[in-house]
Structure 1
């Protein structure tokens, strides 16, 4: 078993988004070697994290999903989740 940390490629679409006075960090990334699909994670100002279980074929697909949720549910949907709530 290797103790090496896998190398991660971060998408240039990652960044900070602010709406309605709320700021979240959008992280889109994948392993450099192995699975080529992208992971989408959104972190709120308190460190709460929403990670999609589904993977995305491209980083643009991941960003499009973030934007769809942002437009449909609002930026508040990414804030620290309450117990018993579901993630995307």
Structure 2
């Protein structure tokens, strides 16, 4: 089985590295160039990735979802158990 070329990804300017309560997190907000929906991924210092299952209509909506989780659950939502 051959795989085709990798799709072009567009990275949001809202993608970033943050330190929240002393915990480093990588925030990836991207979309496939030919698709309208934005994907949100948070990676902790151990490399554990949390990806939202639903796409967002805009990169700002994805960022708002991240901010909501951080406000309601804190950085613990992204730590390994």
- SS of equivalent residue, structure 2 residue 6: coil
Q: Structure 1 runs of 4+ off > 6 angstroms?
A: none
Query: Structure 2: any 5+ residue segments left out of the alignment?
Result: none
- Report whether the alignment pairs 1:59 with 2:59: yes
Aligned match of 1:21: 22
Q: 3-state SS of the aligned residue for 2:4? A: coil
- In the alignment, the residues of structure 2 paired with residue 2 and residue 70 of structure 1 have an alpha-carbon distance, to the nearest angstrom, of 37
Residues 8-87 of structure 1 aligned to structure 2 (within 5 Å)? 8-33=9-34, 35-80=35-80, 82=81
RMSD over aligned CA atoms reads: 1.2
Question: Scaled by the length of structure 2, what TM-score is found?
Answer: 0.92
**Residue segments in structure 1 that go unaligned for 5+ positions in a row:** 83-88
Q: Number of matched residues?
A: 80
Q: In structure 1, how many angstroms separate the alpha carbons of the residues matched to 2:3 and 2:24?
A: 37
Which TM-score applies when normalising by structure 1? 0.85
